[in-house]
Amino acid sequence: MEKTAEAPSRRKDMRSVRLPKDHRPVKAGRVGVLLVNLGTPDGTGYWPMRRYLEEFLTDKRVIEWPKALWYPILYGIVLNTRPKKSGRAYDEIWNRERDESPLRTITRSQSDLLGERLSDLGEDVLVDWAMRYGKPSIASRLTRLQEEGCERILVFPLYPQYAASTTATVNDEAFRTLMRMRWQPALRTVPPYHDDPAYIDALAASVEAKLAEIDFEPEVVIASYHGIPKSYFDKGDPYYCHCQKTTRLLRERLGWSKDRLIVTFQSRFGPEEWLQPYTDKTVEALAKAGTKKIAVINPGFASDCLETLEEIAGEAKEIFEHAGGERFVHIPCLNDSVGGMDVIEAAVRRELSGWL
């Protein structure tokens, strides 16, 4: 109790330090929280998509091939053909009311709601959000928080399971931003929360709530995670193990068998072998083997996005039904639901320990 009581007054003292009359104004003593999601294009047209894809696909954490091998393919083929295809996919899920992707809408809402939930900590705690690729950038929001007097900033990569191509690249960009700062804030990052009891409970509650809404009982529920190349796993990336643990804990929490809740991996790209089994192939095989009713959940995504709304709720559903399946339901991500915000808030309060 004594530490909690002292922290606000200490920050207040720092902000009210008397400065010489000719000294420029200085804001100080605040704590920032920055939620970071994967990214989003600014529009569905060719050039917005190309800019987004170029930023994404030139990240060495995402594509680990040597530039001499990858760049001729990227600039000669991928960036000339992929923007149109991806743009059409984004157009199917675009939030036309706000003229933005659902990922941007949801991430903004998560930030706003977290700010409200942390209001008991006082005005010296600021919450903001950013995208690893696209706008608003990590650099712009970290700079804003620093300019608003945040001497300590907690960066929260919104990925439950750690992967070098997701969590690590967010942290990379955050620290690159600090390298360009004369006056650096102290920085913390939120670790993966793939086995956090609050996260598992929220996933289980979302599954139970969705299945209670529908008029059929799925024979199989698929936990579909974004894939990574198998070579990344072979090099020591823990992502596959984190996905398996999340699913095991969720299965135990629901009291289901291994056959009832299975793991697959989606969104593969390029000629390499990726983590298996593949979601699209599994959905097709289940239908052809006589399974008529399935559900799919995406535990690796904190927010619904192109990969969940278009690839799973749209494309995977079509594959299943075309192969003979009859009933398909996509279980939404936790998003900005009460359960989803409980998970984010619990992680933030835990990681702010000692700062407040």
> Cβ neighbours of residue 338 under 8 Å, at least 6 residues apart?
none
Q: List the one residue out of 141, 117, 125, 155 whose CA is nearest residue 12.
A: 125
d(CA 279, CA 307): 12
Give yes or no for residue 12 having a pLDDT over 90. Answer: no
d(CA 312, CA 301): 12
Asked whether 227 and 282 are in contact (CB, 8 A), the reply is no
Task: For residue range 146-186, list pLDDT tens digits in order.
Answer: 999 999 999 999 999 999 999 999 999 999 999 999 999 99
Q: Give the model's pLDDT for residue 294.
A: 98
Q: Give the model's pLDDT for residue 22.
A: 73
Task: For residue range 16-72, list pLDDT tens digits in order.
Answer: 456 677 766 677 899 999 999 999 999 999 999 999 999 999 999 999 999 999 999
Give yes or no for residue 5 having a pLDDT over 80. Answer: no
Q: Give the model's pLDDT for residue 8.
A: 43
Sign of CA dihedral 134, 135, 140, 141: negative
pLDDT band per the 50, 70, 90 thresholds, residue 9: very low
Give yes or no for residue 270 having a pLDDT over 80. Answer: yes
Distances (CA, A) of 235 to 58, 66, 83, 211, 245: 20, 16, 30, 38, 19
> Cβ neighbours of residue 88 under 8 Å, at least 6 residues apart?
44
- Environment class of residue 17 by beta-carbon count within 10 Å: exposed (0-12), middle (13-18) or buried (19+)? exposed
Q: Give the model's pLDDT for residue 23.
A: 67
Mean pLDDT score of the chain: 94
**pTM for the predicted model, two decimal places:** 0.92
287-302 mean pLDDT: 98
d(CA 310, CA 91): 10
Asked whether 87 and 44 are in contact (CB, 8 A), the reply is yes
Q: Give the model's pLDDT for residue 11.
A: 45
Task: For residue range 109-149, list pLDDT tens digits in order.
Answer: 999 999 999 999 999 999 999 999 999 999 999 999 999 99
